[in-house]
């Protein structure tokens, strides 16, 4: 990837942030007044002036050129869920044949990529198929380095000329403003005068698989869809639980070392790494940042993981479910609300006052998750994630909230006006004003909960490993902003703030405690309990996404200025189309792999088996078990061919739904997926029955136990 560093000789301090146009770099390179003005722009208290942009652009260009960059790019996040970039060089030719290297303020602030080919869900008529990218001053520019090819990469928002959001960043930024506004009102009402800005912090834990690239190259399904559409589990799966937190193998260690250095160079705070539950599955976590920055850096991190893996003859699989039968990959989204006066509003404090504030924010999140659980669920709805959520894997598709026993008990006592019995047997009055320091000693973790309180943050565990963090955090922010707006209004109008706070805590908890579940989310009876509690169970992407523009949500997003009705509708269309598109590819791959590879391979084996049996019989031998095997092979070949034919027919029939994104996606989910499963069952059985050397692509055993 980048110029070779000898990692054994290079200290982390030497490289950390060297390719990041960080705050420290800006402070050093910008004139004081420009730096301060830019800070004010970042804080949202000032508009960016062309003069400031001009100076920053120049400093950024010099800095990037010193690092060997020849090009710059406005980097953005269209609704494909990926990132997009178009590179421009800094050169500006002169009449005498020489060039100047230039980068203007205007080029920094705004770009005009030819955006007509990005999905827009009907937002822009083709005659004005133009969008522009706008510099996001709040997220640092970096120099991306691909084997020495260096590009100044500027995070931008992608907007249509009429101002509509065409990307994932704009709504996220809007949602951050919404929560800033409402949370500020709340803490002002609580008497805080020092805080001027509130933001949501996000720390992602990213899971991924690594496999040897020689196997990857032989699997068209992995190359084209990111997951194996066929494959039988090897004799060993994850039953032994011997991979989780196991010793990191040398080859992986070397990969992780380079990965860390590459991330550190970009100023990305790679912190934790370990083996995950499934064989060849790993996790990396970066330290939390504001939601916007974490979203950007996580996109970069996914790119870097993929690139660095290749240097080690590996391929990183970020798909939610590359392999059936072992755990899928998620991206735990650790989320909290921070203030610029140094508080974590979801952290229990040391004093009674802090704890009242904590309980108010905590119960507000409880209410938000209960009221807008569907939005959270649908923010993690993708075809890849359907193999995790609702498919006997943690977390389940039902949104619930894990509080832990201590907090549940405290809130129960408050709700029922009971004193709390502490572990030492002492009674503690929970009059709120005298609320004691919480005995937060039980950090009992519940790994099966989709939304767990983990001490001073919530961990949203539904997010898929390949997903952008933008949508889940947008939903979370808006849901909580809406509840905080109600809280603020009530506190602003209250005669006695503290009494009202108590009312709110009690009321929110009592009315929304159905969302709290501290038990095992895997347990089958949980689904029944959830259903009795009236909690929605949206088991698949299509049904989840169908709610995106429900009237109540359209109103909610409109109120907080996060999505217009048109933006919301276009997103629903695009996400549904993406779902259908993915399934179309997977079904096509199955047809191709079954018809032209797997079934012919099984037939070759059957033919050889039959000639062996013939030879045996001519010697007077009577093959019995072999006959059964041959018959079995034959039956599965026939059944696979039948399923193949049905699958091909569904792929013709689906064309009738074209033009209606929801109907089409429903067809894929309801009609295509079940036939895919039938075909898979026969092809996988054939793989089990066929001698290995006949099989046309690498097995699970090859891919999962070779590193
Ligand atoms: P786990 O035990 O779940 O692995 P860690 O303590 O390792 O938890 O943290 C996981 C992630 O949570 C990291 O990205 C970390 O930076 C992030 N995190 C820690 N505190 C906060 C917070 N207050 N807000 C948001 N994220 C946080
Ligand atoms: Mg965690």
- Torsional class of 535: left (φ above 0), alpha (ψ -120 to 50), beta (otherwise): beta
Task: Give, rounded to a whole angstrom, the gap between the first and last alpha carbons of the chain.
Answer: 21
Atom of ligand 1 nearest to the CA of 288: 16
- CATH no. for residue 53? 3.10.20.70
Most distant CA atoms of the chain, gap in Å: 102
The answer to whether position 232 is within a domain reads no
Domains in the chain, number: 3
129 and 191 housed in the same domain = no
Q: What's the whole-number average pLDDT of the chain?
A: 92
- 233 domain residue, yes or no: no
Do 684 and 609 share a domain, yes or no?
A: yes
Q: Which tens digits make up the pLDDT trace of 462-490?
A: 999 999 999 999 999 999 999 999 999 99
Q: The CATH number of the domain where 603 resides is what?
A: 1.20.120.1560
Please indicate, yes or no, whether residues 268 and 339 belong to a single structural domain of this protein: yes
Q: Which uninterrupted H or E stretch holds 614?
A: helix 599-618
Residue 2, pLDDT above cutoff 60: no
What's the pLDDT tens digit per position in 507-518?
999 999 999 999
List, in order, residues 6 or more apart from 350 with CB less than 8 Å away: 437
Last-in-domain residue among 563, 591, 619:
563
**461 C-alpha to ligand 2 centroid (Å):** 8
Q: Is 89 helix (H, G, I), strand (E, B) or coil?
A: strand
Please name the residue whose Cα sits nearest to atom 11 of ligand 1. 203
Match 């705070």 to its residue by tokens.
269
C-alpha–C-alpha distance, residues 328 and 465, integer Å: 9
Contact 285, 352 (CB under 8 A): no
**In sequence order, what are the beta bridge partners of 91?**
101
Ligand 1, from 285, 333, 339: best to mutate by most atoms within 8 Å of Cβ? 285
Full residue range of the structural domain in which residue 678 is found: 577-704
Lowest pLDDT segment from 84-93, 212-221, 230-239: 230-239
287 within some domain: yes
Rounded to an integer, the average pLDDT of 617-629 is 97
Determine the average pLDDT of the residues in 275-285. 92
What's the Cα-to-Cα distance from 541 to each of 122, 579, 619, 620, rounded to whole Å? 21, 8, 59, 59
446 Cα to the center of ligand 1, angstroms: 15
Last residue of a domain, one of 517, 534, 563: 563
354: burial class by Cβ within 10 Å (0-12, 13-18, 19+)? Answer: middle
Closest residue by CA, ligand 1 atom 14? 203
Same domain, 592 and 492: no
**pLDDT band per the 50, 70, 90 thresholds, residue 276:** confident
Ligand with the closest atom to the CA of 298: 1
* Angstrom distance (rounded) from CA 315 to CA 212: 6
pLDDT at 401: 97
Would 7 be classed as within a structural domain? no
Strand pairing class (71-75; 149-160): parallel
Half-sphere exposure of 686 (CA within 13 A, CB side): 33
Write down the residue that tokens 């079934």 correspond to: 599
381-402 pLDDT, tens per residue?
Answer: 999 999 999 787 778 999 999 9
Q: Does a structural domain hold residue 6?
A: no
Question: Is the pLDDT higher at 247 or at 126?
Answer: 247
Residue 427 and residue 373 share a domain: yes
Both 543 and 669 in one domain: the answer is: no
Instruction: Tell me, yes or no, whether 506 and 588 share the same domain.
Output: no
- Tell me the two tokens of residue 706: 């070779």
Asked if pLDDT for residue 183 goes beyond 50, the answer is yes
- Specify if 235 maps to a domain: no
**pLDDT-derived band of residue 1, with 50, 70 and 90 as boundaries?**
very low
On the question of pLDDT at 640 being above 80, the answer is yes
Ligand nearest to the CA of 339: 1
Mutate to test the pocket of ligand 1, among 201, 203, 402, 477 (most ligand atoms within 8 A of CB): 203
- The predicted pLDDT at position 248 comes to 84
Structure tokens at 82: 């990926």
Give CA–CA dist 76/112, Å, rounded. Answer: 12
Q: What is the pLDDT of residues 586-603, one digit of tens each?
A: 999 999 999 999 999 999
- Where residue 477 falls (left for φ over 0; alpha for ψ -120 to 50; beta otherwise) is alpha
Closest ligand, as measured to the CA of 204? 1
Task: Return the pLDDT at 131.
Answer: 84
Q: Which of 97-101, 318-322, 349-353 has the lowest mean pLDDT?
A: 349-353
- Residue 497: its pLDDT value, please? 94
Query: What are the backbone angles phi and psi of residue 220, rounded to the nearest 5°?
Result: -60, -30
In the reported structure, the alpha carbon of residue 466 is separated from the centroid of ligand 2 by a whole-number distance in angstroms of 17
- What is the reported pLDDT for 490? 98
Mean pLDDT of 496-519: 95
In a domain, 504, yes or no: yes
Segment 189-215, tens digit of pLDDT: 999 999 999 999 999 999 999 999 999
What backbone torsions phi and psi does residue 123 show, to the nearest 5 degrees?
-70, -30
Q: Is the bond leading into 395 cis (omega within 30 degrees of zero)? A: yes
* Residue range 531-536: mean pLDDT, rounded: 96
What was the pLDDT predicted at 4?
60
List all residues 6 or more positions away from 14 whose beta carbon is below 8 Å from its beta carbon. Answer: none
Q: Is the dihedral of CA 386, 389, 392, 394 positive or negative?
A: positive
- Nearest C-alpha neighbor of 582 from the set 83, 221, 299: 221
Give the model confidence (pLDDT) of 135-181 as tens digits.
999 999 999 999 899 999 999 999 988 889 999 999 999 999 999 99
Do 446 and 527 share a structural domain? yes
What is the per-residue DSSP string for 126-144? GGG--EEEEE-TTS--EEE
Percent of the chain clearing pLDDT 90 (strictly above): 80
491: Cα separation from own chain's centroid: 35
For residue 503, give every residue at least 6 positions away whose Cβ sits within 8 Å of its Cβ, in sequence order, or none.
none
Q: Is the dihedral of CA 213, 214, 216, 220 positive or negative?
A: positive
Nearest Cα to Cα of residue 215 among 701, 644, 682: 701
Mean pLDDT, rounded, for 303-317: 97
Q: Is 1 within the bounds of a domain?
A: no
CB atoms within 10 A of CB 182: 24
Do 346 and 336 touch, CB atoms closer than 8 A?
Answer: yes
Same domain assignment for residues 673 and 596: yes
CB 308 within 8 A of CB 213: no
Helix axis angle, 405-415 relative to 352-371, nearest 10°? 90
Shared domain for 184 and 160, answered yes or no, is no
The alpha carbon of 459 and the centre of ligand 2 are apart by a number of angstroms equal to 7
The β-bridge relationship of strands 131-135 and 110-111 is antiparallel
Distance, in Å, from the CA atom of 445 to the CA atom of 334, rounded to the nearest integer, reads 14
Query: What is the pLDDT at residue 162?
Result: 84
Ligand 2 centroid to Cα of residue 314, in Å, is 26
Provide residues with CB under 6 Å of ligand 1: 201-203, 205, 272, 285-288, 334-336, 344, 456-457
**pLDDT by residue (tens digit) across 249-264?**
899 999 999 999 999 9
Shared domain check, 79 and 35? yes
CA distance 368 to 200: 15
CA–centroid distance, 256 to ligand 2, in Å, is: 19
pLDDT of residue 170: 96
Residue ending a domain, choose from 541, 563, 585: 563
Distance from Cα 396 to the centre of ligand 2, integer Å: 16
| Same domain (yes/no): 589, 673 | yes
Q: Ligand 1 pocket test: which of 199, 334, 394 has the largest number of ligand atoms within 8 Å of its C-beta?
A: 334
Could you report the per-residue pLDDT of 321-375, keeping only the tens digit for each?
Answer: 999 999 999 999 999 999 999 999 999 877 666 688 999 999 999 999 999 999 9
Closest ligand 1 atom to 346 CA: 23
User: From CA 7, how far away is CA 627, in angstroms rounded?
Assistant: 59
């Amino acid at each position: 990837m980048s110029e070779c560093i000898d990692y054994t000789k290079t200290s982390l301090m030497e490289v950390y942030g060297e390719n990041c146009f960080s705050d420290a770099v800006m402070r050093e390179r910008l004139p004081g007044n420009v730096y301060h003005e830019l800070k004010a722009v970042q804080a949202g208290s000032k508009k960016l002036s062309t003069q400031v942009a001009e100076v920053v652009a120049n400093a950024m260009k010099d800095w990037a050129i010193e690092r060997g960059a020849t090009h710059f790019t406005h980097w953005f996040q269209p609704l494909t869920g990926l990132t997009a970039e178009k590179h421009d060089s800094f050169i500006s030719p002169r009449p005498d044949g020489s060039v100047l290297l230039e980068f203007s303020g205007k080029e920094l602030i705004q770009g005009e990529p030819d955006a007509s080919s990005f999905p827009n869900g009907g937002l822009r008529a083709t005659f004005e198929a133009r969008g522009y990218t706008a510099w996001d001053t709040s997220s640092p520019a970096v120099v991306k380095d691909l084997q020495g090819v260096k590009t100044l990469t500027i995070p931008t928002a992608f907007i249509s000329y009429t101002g509509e959001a065409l990307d994932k960043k704009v709504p996220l930024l809007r949602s951050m403003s919404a929560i800033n506004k409402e949370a500020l009102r709340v803490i002002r009402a609580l008497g805080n005068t020092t805080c001027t800005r509130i933001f949501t912090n996000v720390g992602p834990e990213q899971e991924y698989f690594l496999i040897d690239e020689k196997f990857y190259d032989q699997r068209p399904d992995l190359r084209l869809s990111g997951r194996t559409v066929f494959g039988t589990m090897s004799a060993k799966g994850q039953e032994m639980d011997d991979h989780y937190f196991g010793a990191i193998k040398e080859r992986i260690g070397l990969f992780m070392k380079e990965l860390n250095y590459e991330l550190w160079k970009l100023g990305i705070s790679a912190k934790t790494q370990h083996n995950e539950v499934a064989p060849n599955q790993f996790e990396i976590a970066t330290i939390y940042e504001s939601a916007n920055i974490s979203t950007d850096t996580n996109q970069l991190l996914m790119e870097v993981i993929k690139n660095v893996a290749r240097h080690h003859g590996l391929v990183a699989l970020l798909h939610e479910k590359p392999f059936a039968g072992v755990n899928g990959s998620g991206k735990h989204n650790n989320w909290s609300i921070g203030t610029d006066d140094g508080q974590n509003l979801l952290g229990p404090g040391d004093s009674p006052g802090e704890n009242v504030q904590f309980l108010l924010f905590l119960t507000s999140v409880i209410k938000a998750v209960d009221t807008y659980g569907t939005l959270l669920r649908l923010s993690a709805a993708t075809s890849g994630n359907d193999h995790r959520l609702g498919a006997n894997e943690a977390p389940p598709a039902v949104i619930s909230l894990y509080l832990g026993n201590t907090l549940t008990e405290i809130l129960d006592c408050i709700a029922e006006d009971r004193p709390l019995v502490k572990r030492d047997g002492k009674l503690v009055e929970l009059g709120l004003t005298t609320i004691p320091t919480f005995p937060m000693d039980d950090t009992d973790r519940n790994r099966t909960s989709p939304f767990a309180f983990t001490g001073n943050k919530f961990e949203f565990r539904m997010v898929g490993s390949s997903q952008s963090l933008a949508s889940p955090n947008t939903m979370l922010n808006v849901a909580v902003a809406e509840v905080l707006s109600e809280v603020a209004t009530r506190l602003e109008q209250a005669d006695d703030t503290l009494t009202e706070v108590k009312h709110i805590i009690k009321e929110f908890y009592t009315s929304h405690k159905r969302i709290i579940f501290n038990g095992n989310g895997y347990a089958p009876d949980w689904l029944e309990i959830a259903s009795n509690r009236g909690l929605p169970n949206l088991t698949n992407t299509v049904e989840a996404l169908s709610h995106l523009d429900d009237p109540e949500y359209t109103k909610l997003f409109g109120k907080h200025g996060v999505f217009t009705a048109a933006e919301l509708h276009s997103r629903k269309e695009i996400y549904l189309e993406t779902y259908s598109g993915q399934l179309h590819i997977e079904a096509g791959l199955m047809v191709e792999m079954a018809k032209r590879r797997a079934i012919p391979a099984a037939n070759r084996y059957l033919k050889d088996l039959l000639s062996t049996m013939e030879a045996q019989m001519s010697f007077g031998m009577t093959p019995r078990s072999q006959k059964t095997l041959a018959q079995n092979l034959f039956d599965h070949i026939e059944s696979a061919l039948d399923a193949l034919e049905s699958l091909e027919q569904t792929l013709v029939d689906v064309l009738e739904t074209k033009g209606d994104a929801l109907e089409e996606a429903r067809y894929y989910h309801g009609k295509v997926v079940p036939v895919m499963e039938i075909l898979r069952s026969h092809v996988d059985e054939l793989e089990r029955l066929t001698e290995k050397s006949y099989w046309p692509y690498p097995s699970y055993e090859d891919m999962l136990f070779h590193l």
